[in-house]
Chain A
Amino acid sequence: MLNDYNEVLQKLCHHLEQLVGPGVEITPQTDLINELAIDSVKLLNLIMEIEDEFDISVPINALADVQTVHELASLIHRIKAQEQ
């Protein structure tokens, strides 16, 4: 069943909270690199977790355009929709 965007966003935020720890506010506009200090290695590991969660493959190339939580959630949502 196609996950809607809000469901994707909610699950993504849950993964991010586990990654950066408690006490950090995460919104759709949060910048992954500058605000959450997620470097390239952490981002690739996060992507592996997300891929398992949503049963998708995220091409590394597509991450070049991703800076915010919203952009990553949109990308996941789009790939999930394409693969269904």
Chain B
Amino acid sequence: MSLLDKLDAVAAARKALLPEGVEVFGTPIEEVYSSTEARIGDHRILFLGTNNYLGLTFAQECRDAAQEAIHSEGTGTTGSRMANGSYRGHRALEREFAEFYQCRSCIVFTTGYQANLATISGLAGPGDIVLIDGDSHASIYDGCRLSGAEIIRFKHNDPADLEKRLRRLGERSRSTLIIAEGIYSMLGDRAPLADIVKVKDAYNSTLLLDEAHSLGVLGETGQGLVEETGLLDRVDFITGTFSKSLGGIGGYCVSNHPQLDQLRYVSRPYIFTASPTPATIASTRAALRLLREGVELRRQLWKNVHQLYSQLKELDYRLGPEPSPVIATILETPQQALALWKGLLENGIYVNLVLPPATPEGNSLVRCSVSAVHTSEQMNHVGKTFARLRETVFQ
């Protein structure tokens, strides 16, 4: 097979699965009206798959901060922090994140994907081991590959399986980085953090927790699973993203280990990329303040979560194992998932269609993500539409 033939095979597989004229992936959005509404083609639609958990993309404070930053510092930094310097905003956001997590230090990255790439590949190297949950996000897999370390998977959310694998490693468990996620992006389930921490302590390993989907969602001040479980000081490194609850783009890593700062000198995804723009940093700083104070937003978010999860459960849709802002309906075939996705869109609801191999156990998913700013009328419309479509999807 030639270089380009491989891509022709991808095109053929895509054509076989998806009907002509349906732009499932990268659907064109013509206008965005608010955190929850936009226009696709001629239709006003409800966003129900955007990871905008606190609805902060349109928060006035964030928009004002971004505009002011553009006026005062320009549109971009045009280079990496190593070469072009660290702006005042970069340093301030790092201080604010460190203070938020009561940690010694923080590094800010240009995207959440790069936060994992940079942290994992900076911490682990050839001769080390990374032990990752089987349902880990692609950024974790890619960070592991970039590290050159030996990559071993443990069964999803199974601390006993993790323990078994650490035991097999013997002394090498001391040079092992364990990686789990606060909330898993596909099925919305939480990591069993208390048990994972016990195992990692027993084997003197190091634990990295990715709070991408749990930041702003779990815990009194929104720190994530570490706050909900009271285990902040037992996790070695925490990564996360600005692109979900914080409504921007970027990522971070916080830690009490003084070695974190050395990642700035060894981590290629930090060194060889342009730093976050002034507008991104400014809106994220404003969003972080809103997130910390967002007790009411979290209360409203979880009210919406429980409403939709219980409605879909009553309708006998197969769902992820626990209520969470990520609510995935699990379908037996890609065709069923496509029918549900299309039906929802025709009724003005835009969600994520996720097909194998990007899904756990080769299932097909229609993935919703709930926001604090979805109104009860919007949630009712979603519930009624899922009810109406059930027969068509499973016929």
List residues of chain A with CB under 8 Å of any chain B CB. 39-42, 44-45, 47-48, 55-61, 83
Contact = CB atoms under 8 A, between A and B. Distances in A.
Nearest to A64: B145
Contacts of B361: 41, 45
A60 B153 contact: yes
Interface string B293-309: 00000000000000000
Contacts of B144: 60
Nearest to A42: B362
A56 B168 contact: yes
A48 B153 contact: yes
B151 A59 contact: yes
Given A41-B357, A42-B362, A61 B150 contact: yes
B280 to A, nearest CB: 33
Contact of B357 (A40, A48, A56, A58): A40
Interface residues of B, number: 16
Contacts of A60: 144, 151-153
A10 B155 CA distance: 25
Contacts of A57: 152, 165, 168-169
Contact of A48 (B134, B168, B169): B134
B127 interface: no
Q: Binding site of A, secondary structure by majority: helix, strand, loop or mixed?
A: helix
Contacts of A44: 134, 153
Contacts of B151: 59-61
- Shortest 8 CB-CB contacts between residues of A and residues of B: A60-B151, A59-B150, A41-B357, A57-B152, A57-B165, A41-B362, A57-B168, A59-B152
A19 B361 CA distance: 13
Contact of A41 (B150, B155, B356): B356
Nearest to A47: B153
Given A48-B134, A57-B168, 8 more contacts: A41-B357, A41-B361, A41-B362, A44-B134, A57-B165, A59-B152, A60-B144, A61-B151
B165 A48 contact: no
Contacts, number: 35
Contact of B155 (A39, A48, A55, A58): A48
A57 B173 CA distance: 13
A75 B169 CA distance: 17
A3 B72 CA distance: 69
Contacts of A45: 361-362
A38 to B, nearest CB: 12
Interface string B140-157: 000011000011110100
A46 to B, nearest CB: 12
Contacts of B152: 57-60
A39 B10 CA distance: 13
A21 to B, nearest CB: 15
Contacts of A39: 356-357
A44 B129 CA distance: 18
Of A39, A58, A61, A83, most B-chain CB atoms within 10 Å: A61
B153 A83 contact: no
27 contacts: A39-B356, A39-B357, A40-B357, A41-B356, A41-B357, A41-B361, A41-B362, A42-B362, A44-B134, A44-B153, A48-B134, A48-B153, A48-B155, A55-B168, A56-B168, A57-B152, A57-B165, A57-B168, A57-B169, A59-B129, A59-B150, A59-B152, A60-B144, A60-B151, A60-B153, A61-B150, A61-B151
A41 B362 CA distance: 7
Nearest to B145: A61
A63 to B, nearest CB: 10
A83 B165 CA distance: 12
Nearest to B131: A57
A50 to B, nearest CB: 12
A42 B362 CA distance: 8
A67 to B, nearest CB: 14
A72 to B, nearest CB: 16
A60 B144 CA distance: 10
Contacts of B155: 48
A28 B150 CA distance: 26
A4 to B, nearest CB: 21
B168 A83 contact: yes
Interface string B195-228: 0000000000000000000000000000000000
